[in-house]
Amino acid sequence: MIVLKTSRELGIMKEACSIAAGALQTVGNAVEAGITTGELDALAEKYIRSRGGEPNFKNYNGFPATACISINNEVIHGIPSKSRKICAGDIVSVDLGAKFGGYHGDNAATFACGEVSAEAKRLMDVTRDALYEGINAARAGSRIGDIGNAVQRTVEAAGFSVVRQYVGHGIGTQLHEAPEVPNFGTKGRGIRLLPGMTLAIEPMVNIGSYDVKVLSDGWTVETKDGSLSAHFEHTVVITPDGPKIMTIV
């Protein structure tokens, strides 16, 4: 069931989203050679709790950490570790969220550790652009397929591929709500977008094939061909005046 949020509910949810956005910014600012993914995760949890929120990924379906931290050819759901260090030239995808007052916020971004390859930088730029194209398509009266089509066209025009096994989602009192928000699709297809809908739009883009695999830890998702992957995400609300990004500091 798709839940349309009231203005009161959106006010609470905006705080959850602001906390999530601040935590993501904090982690991104700390990405440097030599820091461990476990240290980055601890920074995220400390920030979220300092704002009166709860890390909503921690213990979600058994996930052991506050943030998913995925490096280079890892797509999503990387488990932070006290022993895994970030290296110069890595691209580091961080996905995290916060719960506040019973509502959730969710966001992600890919950060460069120092100087990265031109190919990696272009991948990050295209993925970020695809996110904003998808957000721009998320207008009242449009359909879910319009979002995915906008993302897919942007990505494939650059010669990259959109991950298909994992998608965006509705969000509110639950971290994952209806509807699913694929990053591919056909314009004019799918459910109609209505004011009050809140969506987590999150392109996951690979330089090579869109095929992925889950590692033996049961969480970490990698590209099958070993190519680099990037991930960007915002929580947005559909309004009569267009989409509004909620995950801003």
CATH number at residue 79: 3.90.230.10
Token reading at 87: 């290296």
In a domain, 154, yes or no: yes
Per-residue pLDDT tens for 189-211? 999 999 999 999 999 999 999 99
In a domain, 1, yes or no: no
The answer for residues whose C-beta is within 8 angstroms of residue 62's C-beta and 6 or more apart is none
Which residue type sits at 124? M
Domain extent at residue 238: 7-245
In a domain, 241, yes or no: yes
The band of 96, judged by pLDDT with boundaries at 50, 70 and 90, is very high
Number of domains forming the structure of the chain: 1
The reported pLDDT for the residue numbered 206 is: 98
* Mean per-residue pLDDT, 145-166: 98
**E strand or H helix that includes residue 221:** strand 221-223
**Contact present, 103 and 13 (Cβ < 8 Å):** yes
In a domain, 212, yes or no: yes
* Mean per-residue pLDDT, 127-143: 98
The band of 64, judged by pLDDT with boundaries at 50, 70 and 90, is very high
In a domain, 2, yes or no: no
Report the sign of the C-alpha dihedral through residues 208, 209, 211, 216, in that order.
negative
In a domain, 192, yes or no: yes
Token reading at 133: 């194209």
In a domain, 119, yes or no: yes
In a domain, 235, yes or no: yes
pTM listed for this prediction: 0.98
* Mean per-residue pLDDT, 158-180: 98
